[in-house]
Structure 1
């Protein structure tokens, strides 16, 4: 009976350590996700600003050169 109790206590301690490690990983991943979301929002802002600065959505390189005499 004593061996069985010790084994259960040992398994419980191992599970507690595993749970702590998993929680650390989840916390770290959430921090990474938060940082990536901030980067995405910044990129969205840049893209919108670029789109607004172009106006019609046609980039200058898409227009024919001036010597083509439109």
Structure 2
């Protein structure tokens, strides 16, 4: 195997790896966006429950005291 052929094969494998990783990152970006929307909805729902329970300030929007 010549040096050029070896380098071409290596480039082909690296190109495939980069394409695969790009697909994975794109999928994870979509999953993260969905998770963030769901978290925001849950935070709003919990803040509503706290207000309905007689709370004056939604605690979901506050940092814990140890921060």
Q: TM-score range by the shorter chain?
A: 0.7 to 0.9
Partner Cα distance (2:55, 2:27) in 1 = 43
Structure 1 unmatched runs, 5+: 58-70
Q: Number of residues paired by the alignment?
A: 56
| TM-score for the superposition, normalised by structure 2 | 0.78
Structure 2 unmatched runs, 5+: 57-67
State the match for 1:46 in structure 2: 45
Q: Which has the higher contact order (CA 8 A, sep 6+)?
A: 2
Task: Please give the root-mean-square deviation of Cα atoms over the aligned residues, in Å.
Answer: 1.5
Write the mapping of 1:1-70 to structure 2, written as runs, cut at 5 A.
3-56=2-55
Runs of 4+ in 1 over 6 A off after TM superposition: none
Name which one, 1 or 2, has greater alpha-carbon Rg: 1
| TM-score for the superposition, normalised by structure 1 | 0.75
